[in-house]
């Protein structure tokens, strides 16, 4: 009988981890609306949100340029414009690309004026006939979160995008398109108030749950350097470093991806139980039981290990916290807004950023464990292609002190990122379980660690 451990594909992460560690060593107001507003969000509880700094004064100062013939507008030099309210300064520049002229009014962020800073207006005109094609307004400090406003005959329509996902489309605004070009963003928000879920689209005011999750992340980051990497490695219920498959001790033990995720959750479990979780219950087979046609291949292919492991961690912690063990459906993330769930498979990896944003807005301060999965290769003649849950990750989505959305990704003793996941697993899926990180967080000490 095969003893359960994470499939060999997880070991491919070692090469990525080694390269990343080498790199790490080398690189050792708004006029009509207040800046902060409250409204009832479509996802439940009232939500506070922030409107980006205005730059309508700067656009009004250059209204002659905006409405001038394109050959005049194209010759304008970059300049900084001062304002009495909203952003103190706004950078104006003109760009040409693919037959269009772009008039860019960039808000400051950090030491510069990036194109995707919150509040930036980009007016697009045709170089062929001078017509206005659209306005693009970034509403968070993210290249995928913006409004697109465009003329449609006599109408003015607006689409909203959130972290690269189409959010709301075809919203009719009760004004002419020309009026939008020099209007305050606050006015646009009011014009679309009946149709757009602004509390979800605009960045929120962070709460204590976000701060607690940031503190957990800081604790983990401070300890990453002391962790060792080891295939099939984890900490058992007595605090020993062992091999997951056999339970035998490892003298210079470390963690693989599933062992690392367990150690993170042990940081919440051990303060309650007085010891880390036992490994054996986490290896029990629970997934796929309603698929009898594939159960005969469990021993040979073990496709569900990562899914069973993450669910087991979530259930065991919840039992210690509340005295009742939840079901798989209660720990799974199956009810996410705007992104469809596939049972025992989860969500496409490229949609993870948007998914976590929705989750963090609806239920702030939660940790998530993910089991990355993809179709497996047949290991012998006659075996089917099943989804193999081959890699486990830890996800911490929160809003920082400025309200900017952050996602910390940790996997196999290393901090990575959503773009890194997409590069490596862009065609795959990730199943999520929810971890409530309330209470004390104190990961167990690593034997022999400095």
Q: Quick one: tokens of 127?
A: 């170089």
Q: How far apart are CA 226 and CA 399, in angstroms?
A: 27
**Percentage with pLDDT > 90 across the chain:** 76
Average pLDDT over residues 30-50: 41
Confidence of residue 248 (pLDDT cuts 50, 70, 90): very high
Q: How far apart are CA 444 and CA 223, in angstroms?
A: 11
Q: How far apart are CA 311 and CA 108, in angstroms?
A: 44
Residue 332 DSSP class? B
Q: How far apart are CA 58 and CA 182, in angstroms?
A: 9
**Residue 291: what pLDDT?**
52
pLDDT at 138 over 60: yes
Confidence of residue 338 (pLDDT cuts 50, 70, 90): confident
Q: Quick one: tokens of 222?
A: 């401070």
pLDDT at 34 over 50: no
Do residues 309 and 316 make contact, with C-beta atoms less than 8 angstroms apart? no
Report the 10 Å Cβ neighbour count for 262: 27
Residues 405-430 pLDDT 10s: 999 999 999 999 999 999 999 999 99
pLDDT at 224 over 70: yes
Confidence of residue 402 (pLDDT cuts 50, 70, 90): confident
- Least Cα distance to 357 among 142, 173, 180, 186 occurs for 142
Domain ranges of the chain: 8-26+206-435, 52-201
**Residue 21: what pLDDT?**
46
Residue by residue, DSSP assigns 149-207 as EEEETTEEEEEEEETTEEEEEEEEESS-HHHHTT--HHHHHHHTTTT--HHHHSPBPP-
Do residues 122 and 135 make contact, with C-beta atoms less than 8 angstroms apart? yes
- Least Cα distance to 395 among 310, 292, 330 occurs for 310
Q: How far apart are CA 234 and CA 246, in angstroms?
A: 11
Do residues 297 and 384 make contact, with C-beta atoms less than 8 angstroms apart? yes
**What SS3 class is residue 7?**
coil
**Residue 376: what pLDDT?**
76
**What SS3 class is residue 396?**
strand
Q: How far apart are CA 52 and CA 141, in angstroms?
A: 9
| H/E stretch holding 60 | helix 56-61
**Residue 16: what pLDDT?**
56
Average pLDDT, the chain: 87
**Residue 33: what pLDDT?**
37
Q: How far apart are CA 341 and CA 233, in angstroms?
A: 31
| H/E stretch holding 409 | strand 405-411
**Residue 18: what pLDDT?**
55
- Least Cα distance to 164 among 140, 144, 143, 141 occurs for 144
Question: What contacts 114, CB < 8 A, 6 or more positions away?
Answer: 106, 120
**Residue 14: what pLDDT?**
61
Count of positions (residues) in the chain: 450
Confidence of residue 122 (pLDDT cuts 50, 70, 90): very high
pLDDT at 295 over 70: no
Confidence of residue 336 (pLDDT cuts 50, 70, 90): confident
Average pLDDT over residues 41-68: 79
Residue by residue, DSSP assigns 37-78 as EEEE-TTSSEEEEEPPPP-HHHHHHTHHHHTS-HHHHTTPPP
Report the 10 Å Cβ neighbour count for 280: 13
Average pLDDT over residues 284-307: 62
pLDDT at 134 over 50: yes
For the ranges 81-95, 227-241, 275-289, 322-336, the lowest mean pLDDT is seen at 275-289
Residues 164-180 pLDDT 10s: 889 999 999 999 999 99
Confidence of residue 97 (pLDDT cuts 50, 70, 90): very high
Q: Quick one: tokens of 393?
A: 């990750």
Average pLDDT over residues 267-291: 84
Average pLDDT over residues 210-226: 96
| Parallel/antiparallel/unpaired status of strands 89-97 and 100-106 | antiparallel
**Residue 30: what pLDDT?**
33
**Residue 44: what pLDDT?**
35
**What SS3 class is residue 366?**
coil
pLDDT at 1 over 60: no
- For residue 118, what are the CA distances in angstroms to 107, 141, 203, 407? 7, 5, 10, 18
**Residue 108: what pLDDT?**
96
Report the 10 Å Cβ neighbour count for 249: 12
For the ranges 6-20, 106-120, 137-151, 265-279, the lowest mean pLDDT is seen at 6-20
pTM listed for this prediction: 0.84
């Amino acid at each position: 009988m095969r003893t359960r451990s994470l499939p060999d594909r997880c070991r491919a992460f070692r090469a990525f981890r080694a390269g990343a560690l080498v790199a790490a060593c080398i690189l050792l107001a708004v006029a009509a609306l207040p800046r902060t507003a409250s409204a009832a969000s479509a996802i439940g509880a009232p939500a506070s949100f922030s409107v980006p700094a205005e730059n309508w004064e700067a656009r009004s100062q250059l209204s002659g340029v905006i409405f001038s013939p394109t050959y005049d507008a194209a010759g304008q030099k970059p300049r900084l414009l001062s304002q009495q309210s909203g952003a103190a300064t706004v950078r104006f520049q003109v760009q040409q690309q693919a037959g269009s002229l772009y008039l860019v009014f960039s808000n400051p962020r950090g030491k510069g004026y990036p194109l995707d800073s919150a509040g930036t207006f980009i007016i697009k005109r045709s170089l062929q006939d001078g017509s206005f094609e659209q306005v693009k307004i970034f509403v968070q400090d993210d290249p995928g979160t913006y409004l697109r406003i465009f003329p449609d005959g006599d109408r003015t329509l607006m689409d909203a995008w959130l972290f690269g996902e189409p959010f709301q489309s075809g919203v009719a605004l009760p004004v002419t398109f020309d009026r939008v070009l020099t209007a305050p963003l606050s006015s646009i928000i009011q014009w679309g108030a009946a149709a757009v879920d602004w509390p979800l689209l605009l960045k929120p005011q962070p709460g204590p749950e976000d701060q607690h999750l940031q503190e957990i992340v800081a604790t983990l980051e401070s300890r990453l350097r002391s962790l060792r990497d080891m295939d099939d490695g984890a900490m058992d219920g007595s605090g020993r470093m062992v091999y997951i498959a056999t339970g035998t001790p490892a003298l210079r033990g470390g963690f693989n991806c599933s062992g690392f995720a367990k150690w993170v959750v042990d940081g919440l479990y051990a303060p309650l139980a007085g010891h880390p979780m036992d490994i054996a219950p986490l290896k029990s087979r629970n997934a796929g039981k309603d698929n009898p046609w594939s159960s005969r291949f469990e021993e040979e292919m073990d496709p569900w290990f990562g899914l069973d492991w993450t669910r087991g961690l979530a259930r065991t912690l919840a039992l210690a916290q509340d005295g009742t063990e939840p079901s798989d459906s209660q720990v799974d993330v199956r009810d996410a807004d705007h992104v469809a769930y596939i049972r025992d498979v989860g969500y496409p990896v490229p949609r993870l950023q948007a998914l976590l944003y929705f989750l963090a807005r609806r239920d702030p301060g939660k940790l998530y464990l993910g089991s990355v999965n993809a179709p497996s290769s047949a290991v012998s003649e006659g075996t089917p292609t099943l989804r193999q849950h081959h890699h486990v990750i830890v996800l911490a989505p929160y809003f920082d002190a400025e309200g900017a959305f952050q996602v910390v990704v940790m996997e196999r003793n290393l901090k990575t990122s959503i773009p890194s996941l997409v590069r490596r697993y862009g065609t795959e899926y990730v199943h999520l379980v929810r971890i409530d990180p309330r209470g004390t967080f104190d990961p167990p000490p690593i034997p022999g660690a400095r």
